A and B are shown apart, each in its own frame.
Chain A
Amino acid sequence: MATKNKKLSLKDKYQYLTRDMAWEPSYQKKEDIFPYERFEGIKITDWDKWEDPFRLTMDAYWKYQAEKEKKLYAIFDAFAQNNGHQNISDARYVNALKLFLTGVSPLEYGAFQGYAKVGRHFSGAGARVACQMQSIDELRHVQTQLHAMSHYNKHFNGLHDFAHMHDRVWFLSVPKSFFDDARSAGPFEFLTAISFSFEYVLTNLLFVPFMSGAAYNGDMATVTFGFSAQSDEARHMTLGLEVIKFMLEQHEDNVPIVQHWIDKWFWRGYRLLSLVSMMMDYMLPNKVMSWKDAWEVYYEQNGGALFKDLERYGIRPPKYQDVANDGKNHISHQLWSTFYQYSHATNFHTWLPSAAEMDWLSEQYPDTFDKYYRPRFEHWQKMQDKGERFYNNTLPQLCQVCQVPTLFTEHGDPTQLSLRTLEHEGERYHFCSDGCCDIFKYEPEKYIQSWLPVHQIYQGNCEGADVETVVSKYYHINIGQDNFDYVGSPDHQRWQAIKGNRPLGGDDDSRDAA
């Protein structure tokens, strides 16, 4: 480099930041410094072939992020001062935020920890720096999400103890165990799980619905957070694709290992996103698009093109992709039915879709909604009209791997539940699908340790033997405030008051007027 040229080019700067801050160890063995790099079986012959996905130096990073923060917090302040929560489409929308805050934001924190860890454990300096930068991004995301949603905590229930709930509440073991599974794997599997399968293949199915949902429903704070995170997400996706291509190009022995991880993490991500499916189809008062349409655009089309591109490395599309494609017609309805009947044990409200919403669902799901799901909702409506709102008072069977209740139906037969079971070393285990059963068979010792919320309650580890005690004492869900049906809830009554409508009693069904 020319010494008289004081200003370095971006490329030179990045070179200094990554490669020139690394060194060859002289008195310690490289394997001892980077002990996790080889045990997964991934063979790296030349780290110099790593193409830096970010090319962002620290000074540029700080400057860029600081500018974004300034704008973001100015909008949060304006949102709070102008009582922005009063301008959302309907208070039912806030329940999507409750799900996001307890289910997704803690994963951002998990990602911060995960990337900090793997950012220590690669011997390639380029990969280390990329992971460390993503780690900082993830910490920023969890903070800005909390700040975006804290305003809602002042006006609505169920947002008061998200971190505690994430560790304990039954359905939050689904996202929590997903991330724990990834973080307890080796560094290459972690990147395949989170950077590739989640950030690259599936992230649009999470963030586009949430951020468009926020925009369609007047939540400017969340929209702004979404925009602020978008440029980070673009970098994260680049890292996801780079790590896969790098592993595949380094050694042909890596191909079957990577293929197995893609199969596993596609399926785990798909199961996790079933929570988003019900959010899109049922929880947004103003709908963006159906889950089915989102799946077709973001997975079948975009994912299809991606896996075509990866074909030349010997990678095929994920196993059980056909089951997932078939599921696009069903899972949102199945999930919402489940949360509807277990709404006494959730920190958010559920409700029956209105007549107009059911017509929208019929249009979006012409082959399935009227046949398999409308009769159920109409039956529940009749029960609710009689003052017998349906709650399922028995705990559900959970899948040993994804930890979702075993509620999904068979591929090709939507009237039969998809149930799988096997015995391993004298113990019986149950699964929701062949996908989850395969994951178990590959690493049974890992999943025999699953902390299944239902079994923990029955073992007496959750501060009570009945649902009410567990929900209030162990989960910190305020009974009668945070849980049960939306209709007649304190959130509903408060919203009516904000809109100047008459206050409601518990049995007055005014969802259409809301």
Chain B
Amino acid sequence: MSVKALYQYSAEPRDLQANFNGMQLVYLYWPNHLLFCSPFAFLASPEMSMGEFCEQVVRPAIAAHPQAAGLDFGQAQWQLNNQPFSPDPALSLAQNGVAHKALLTLRVPGLDGIAGGAI
């Protein structure tokens, strides 16, 4: 469907990657860890390696969770926009196919949240 209007209605998306000054958005969801109310929204460089993204961006964001301390990103089972995903930590976000506004889902075996996912 499209907007009903008295004129030819068209609009630009407000959040095109070009509007982020060379950066991009990446969202990250860590299921069963509802201490954090929703997925995180990160600003990251597309040139950043996946490994750097995990250690420099994701790790500080989740640090307040008791299960974050020993988390080994090497064990992670990732999803990219709800599809299975095996990123290469040495390659950049862009090279790994993590495009602007992609949703990453992080699952690490054994780290299933506390109190059945309440925390």
Contact = CB atoms under 8 A, between A and B. Distances in A.
B106 to A, nearest CB: 13
A371 B118 contact: yes
Interface string B33-49: 01111111111000000
Contacts of A441: 1
Interface string A442-464: 11111011111011001110000
Contact of A341 (B5, B37, B101, B116): B37
Given A419-B103, A455-B14, A394 B114 contact: no
A39 B13 contact: no
A303 interface: no
B69 interface: no
B15 interface: yes
Contact of A373 (B25, B99, B100, B118): B118
Contacts of A39: 4-6
A334 B34 CA distance: 9
Interface string A28-66: 000000011001110000000000000000000000000
Interface stretch (A99-107, A137-145, A287-295, A395-403): A395-403
A379 B1 contact: no
Given A375-B115, A428-B81, A459-B20, A40 B4 contact: yes
A8 interface: no
Contacts of A394: 40-42, 61
Contacts of B37: 334, 337-338, 341-342, 392, 396, 405, 407
Given A392-B37, A445-B11, A415 B116 contact: yes
Interface string B99-119: 111110000000001111111
Contacts of B99: 428
Contacts, number: 142
Interface size class on chain A is 35 or more
A122 B62 CA distance: 54
Interface size class on chain B is 35 or more
B99 to A, nearest CB: 7
B21 interface: yes
A379 B10 contact: no
A376 B34 contact: yes
B38 A407 contact: yes
B90 interface: no
Interface in A233-272: none
A449 B13 contact: yes
Interface SS of B by simple majority: loop
A429 B34 CA distance: 22
Interface string A322-339: 000000000000100110
B38 A450 contact: no
B72 to A, nearest CB: 21
B25 A460 contact: no
Contact of B34 (A395, A415, A450, A460): A415
A45 to B, nearest CB: 20
Given A427-B15, A430-B103, A419 B39 contact: yes
Contacts of B43: 458
A419 B41 CA distance: 14
Contact of B39 (A373, A379, A390, A397): A397
B41 A428 contact: no
Contacts of A417: 29, 31, 34, 38-39
Contacts of B100: 428
Given A186-B4, A394-B61, A415-B32, A459 B119 contact: no
B16 A392 contact: no
Interface string B75-95: 000000110000000000000
A450 B117 contact: no
Nearest to A456: B14
A16 interface: no
Contact of B21 (A415, A430, A445, A459): A459
B39 A396 contact: yes
Nearest to A390: B64
Nearest to A35: B6
A444 B12 CA distance: 11
A301 interface: no
Contacts of A9: none
A427 B16 contact: yes
Contacts of B81: 421, 428
Contact of B11 (A371, A449, A452): A449
Nearest to A409: B34
A198 to B, nearest CB: 21
A449 B10 contact: no
Nearest to A450: B14
A397 B1 contact: no
B27 interface: yes
Interface of A: 35-36, 39-41, 186, 334, 337-338, 341-342, 371-376, 379, 383, 390, 392-398, 405-407, 415-417, 419, 421, 425, 427-430, 441-446, 448-452, 454-455, 458-460
Interface of B: 1-6, 9-16, 19-21, 23, 25, 27, 29, 31-32, 34-43, 60-61, 64, 81-82, 99-103, 113-119
